[in-house]
Structure 1
C-alpha cells in the first residue's frame, strides 16, 4: 500500500508568514514614502532659495539706481518717498514702513475667494519725468483656509518676470517688503527646511553717486581704455575676459577667459579657465554664438572652444526656460547686437527661445575694450 505525504502548512504557520510579510511591506512603504517626501521637500526648498537669489539679483540692481519708491495698495498710491530735498530724513526713512500696518490689515480681513495686491514702483535718477520704470507686484488670494501669493517684476515696456506664481503662503505674513530710503531694507519670505516660513533680510544702498565719471572722448587706435566702475554682474552663466597688458608688449595682451556656472544651490562653479597671449587687435569684433536645447548649452567663439554645459550642471531646468537675458558689462562694447533679441537697454538684451522643440541659436559680436575684467552674463528665465 502506497503512503501519501499530505503534510503542508498549518493555519498557524500561514498566519505567521502573512503577518511577517505584511510587517516588512509596511516598514518598506514607510521608508520609501518618507524618502520621497524628503526629496520633494528638498526640491521645493532649493527652488525657493533659487527664486530668492533671482529676486535678490534684480532688486540689488534696481534699488542701487533708485531715486524714490512709491507704494501702491490695490492700485492706489498710499506712500511715496519722493519728497523735497530739505524734507526730514527720518520721515523719509519711515514713509514705507509706516504703511506696513495697512498691508497687514488688508491681509487679515481678506475673505475666501477674494484677493488684494500691493506693489513698489521704483523711479530712477535719470528719469526726469519721475515715471515708474520698474514695479514689483505682490498678489495674495484666499481659497478656503489657504493663502496663495504671486510676486512679479514689471517694466514700462511690458516686460514681465514672474518670480513666484500661486505659491502656498505657509504663514499669514507679508512675503515681500521694502523699507527705508537708501539704505533700503528688503524682506523676502520663503519655505525653509522645517517647512516653515523663513524671512531673508538684506540692505541695499543707492550707489550711483559713487561712480566716478571719466573722459568719454574716443582714445587713439589700439590705446588701452581704463576700466570703468563695474559692479558685480550676476547671472546663471558668466563669461569673464581678464586683460593684463602690463606684462606684454604694446600690441600683445595676456587674456584669461573664465566661464562660471551657478548651480542649484546658488554657488558658482568654474567650468572653463584658460589663459592665452593674444594680439590686441584680435580682441575687436569677437563673435560669440550660443546654442540652447532642452538638455544642454553650447558656446562657440572665433578663437576658443568651451565645454558643453549640461542640464544637471546649472541651477535652472532648461526644459522650462523661455527667455535668456543677456547683460553686458561696462567694459564690453557690443559691435553687433544679438540676433532676434529685444533690446531692453544699452547693456541688456532679451532673447525668446524656440517653442518647437528645436535648439535656439543666436549670435552677437563685441570688443574687449579695457584692461582688467570684462564680463558678459546670461540669465535663464523660466516660464
Structure 2
C-alpha cells in the first residue's frame, strides 16, 4: 500500500486537470501584450530591488536608476546584467519617460517586519503601483498564513492600503488620471485583494469607475500570482465573499500565469487569466513568456484539492464534492503532521529538520496572534512561549 502511494505521489503532484471555473475567465494569448502590461512586468520586477534609502530615488527617472548608485544594496547595472544572462536585453528600454513617485515598506529583519514593499511610478497622467512578492522568511510566513491557510488579511493588505493612501496625495498633485496596480506572486495576490477592497469601498479616494474626488483605478495586472481559496473552506477569515468568488470574471484584473507554475495555479483569480508557455515561478522568466500561449492550463490535482476548486471538475460529480471538502484540509493536515513528527522524533539540537518544523510553527502562530492583537512584539513573545512549552512537552 505504501509503495503504491509513493508511486502515485508524482502523479498527484503534476497531473493536470481541466474543467474548472477558471477556464471561463481564460482569454486567448494573441502575441505580445500591450505596452502597459510589459511596463507593469518591469515595475513588478523592480519592486524586488532594495534601496538603502528610498528617499534617494524619489523623483528620479527610472532609466537613470540603472547607473551605479552607492546608496543601493545592488546597483541597477548589476540588476540589468543579471537579466541579460537570462536573455532579457535592454530592460530599461521604454522606461525613459517614467519617474519614481514613491517607494516604501517595512522590508528588513524577520524579527521586525513582514516584508511588505511598494513602489509607485508615473508617466504623464498615468500611475503604476507595484507590490513586492515573496522575498524573505517573513513574507514566506505571510504566504503560508494569508494565502494557503487564508487566516490573515490585516498585515500586508493594510500596509498596501497605507501605501496607496500615501501615494494618493502625491498622485493628485501630479494630475494623475489613470492608476494600475501590479505585482508578481504574493505582490499579485495583494493587487487582487486591494482591488476587492476598492470595490467594497474600503479604500476611500480610489474607485474602479469614474467618481468625483477619487482616483480611477483602471485595473490590476498580476504575474504568477495565487488566487483565492473557496470561501466555504476551513479558514479563520474570508478574504473574498462567496458572491465575489462565484463571479470572479467581472473584475478589472489581468492575470498572466505560466501554465505549469504551482503558485500561479493556486486558487481562483479575479478578472481574466492568460496562460503562458514557460517554466518556473520566478519573475525573470516571465519576460520571455509574455505573448507565448500555453497549449493547456490544467491545474495540478494537489492544488485543486488544497484550494477548494476540485469540485468544479465536471466529470467528478458527488465524488468531487466530497474530495473537495476533504482536500481543503490538506494545509492544516500538513501542520498536524509537523506536530506529530516533532513528538515522534523528539527535538535534537542537531536535528535540522525538527528545527525547521519549529520555525514554521513559530511563524504561523506569530501571524495568527498578530492578526488578533496587531502587536508584533506581543505576537512574537506569545509564539515563542508556545514553542517553548511545545518543546518541553516533546522532550518529556
TM-score under structure 1 normalisation? 0.29
Structure possessing the higher relative contact order (Cα contacts under 8 Å, 6 or more residues apart): 2
Tell me which structure has the larger Cα radius of gyration.
1
Q: Comparing both structures, which one devotes a greater share of its residues to helix?
A: 2
Q: Comparing both structures, which one devotes a greater share of its residues to strand?
A: 1
